[in-house]
Structure 1
Amino acid sequence: MTTDITTPLLPYRITICGLDELAGHAQGGFTHVVSILDPERADPEDFTAYLPHRRVLWRFDDTLQPGPGMTVPCERDVRKILKLGEELLAEKADQLLIHCHAGVSRSTATAVILMAQNNPGREPEIFQELSRVRPRSWPNSLMVGIADDLLGRGGALVRELRGHHARVAANHPDLATLIRLHGRAHEVPEA
């Protein structure tokens, strides 16, 4: 299959942010919003200042393994992302805001999944675009791995994710340190 790399990955614009950035995007004109929050986190009040938009809210923790009181992202969650991707295309979405707690892991994994959905063979380009949109990003590897399986990518998304993690670790060593401290050291490549 030949892919035309001049074709945009998505026909709508994606913005990724964390909770502390939501107020700054209130006048962004977003037609659609994805909120990914920890299960016990209160819903942000910032959206009262936003123009009318369609918003979905998903609740799961930014974790890779089960633990006490943790809601691990699972296949059902990734299938919801893929279903939303189909709906965004059908609705001719214009601008999508994706946020999680820090705008680093769950939200960026969601963006990767949406970009990958209809773009087989463009995995390197997906992570280049992610780096452009959100340079300080560390997509949740569990979510990306599930998407790789569901989309039949044979490990291509996971391989590119590892390269992305290596580049981000080199450019943002403070983020790599935080990832290590939060029980995800196996995602951080050795220097």
Structure 2
Amino acid sequence: MHNFLESTTICGLRNLSDPAGHTHVLSLIDPEWTEPTEFATWQADRWRLLRFHDDIEQRDQRVSPTREHVAEILAFGKQASEDPASRLFIHCLSGKSRSTAAAVLIWSQAFPQHDEQYIMGHLLRVRPQAWPNLLMIQYGDELLGRDGKLVSAAHELYKQGLIADPDWARTLERLGRTAEIIR
């Protein structure tokens, strides 16, 4: 399992990289998007498709991530991490928020000996543009019994991200994600 942390690939649907060589695929896409045909031939137990929007607050009739979605992500991640040859491929629309939150949660579950700063630091090395979905992190923190530490580590990531790109705050406001604006 030691290679599981290093062998995870995270990307966006718009720049979907080749999943060849990977053993498990986690697809996190909007409900209205068509099913990615790239994975149609994958075994059902090795490909999980979850449909919800990248929101952190309920907006209109949109489908926000739920505790059940996160529990399903963790169950799939547990199955993948228990395979010694596992190479996990996670994607969402942009490879920035849902997929990175899923990776953080799966890694936190698979490697409870690593603290939250280590996990977030690894995420930024793998995916420098990461901005993990706060609602998913909150649910995962609760389900994993991390006592708010994953949420705190996400807030630190947001704070550093806004220092590097202060204009990102306007986009977050427009998207209804003001809870992720940490200064």
TM range (shorter): 0.7 to 0.9
* TM-score, structure 2 as length reference: 0.87
Of the structure 1 ranges 74-83 and 119-128, higher mean CA displacement relative to structure 2 is found in 119-128
| Matched AA of 1:141 | L
Would you say 1:32 and 2:32 are equivalent positions?
A: no
Give percent identity, aligned residues only: 37
Residues 102-154 of structure 1, C-alpha deviations (whole Å, 9 max, x = no match): 11111010001011114155111000000001110110111101111111111
SS of equivalent to 1:149: helix
Q: Which residue of 1 aligns with 2:182?
A: 189
Q: CA deviation at 1:47?
A: 4.1
Contact 1:136 1:172 survives alignment (8 Å): no
Contact 2:78 2:106 survives alignment (8 Å): no
1:88 to 80, 89, 92: 80
* TM-score, structure 1 as length reference: 0.84
CA distance in structure 2 between the partners assigned to 1:173 and 1:15 by the alignment? 28
Unaligned runs of 5+ in 1: 1-6
SS of equivalent to 1:183: coil
CA distance in structure 2 between the partners assigned to 1:56 and 1:165 by the alignment? 28
The number of residue pairs the alignment matches comes to 180
1:125 to 106, 114, 118: 118
Would you say 1:68 and 2:22 are equivalent positions?
A: no
Would you say 1:114 and 2:106 are equivalent positions?
A: yes
CA RMSD of aligned residues (A): 2.3
Would you say 1:104 and 2:96 are equivalent positions?
A: yes
CA distance in structure 2 between the partners assigned to 1:36 and 1:77 by the alignment? 10
CA distance in structure 2 between the partners assigned to 1:162 and 1:172 by the alignment? 15
- Flag the 1:34–1:93 CA change in 2: closer, same or farther, 3 A: farther
Contact 2:27 2:50 survives alignment (8 Å): yes
Q: Which residue of 2 aligns with 1:3?
A: none
Unaligned runs of 5+ in 2: none
- Flag the 1:124–1:11 CA change in 2: closer, same or farther, 3 A: closer
Q: After TM superposition, list the pairs within 5 Å mapping 1:158-169 onto structure 2.
A: 158-169=151-162
CA distance in structure 1 between the partners assigned to 2:174 and 2:85 by the alignment? 37
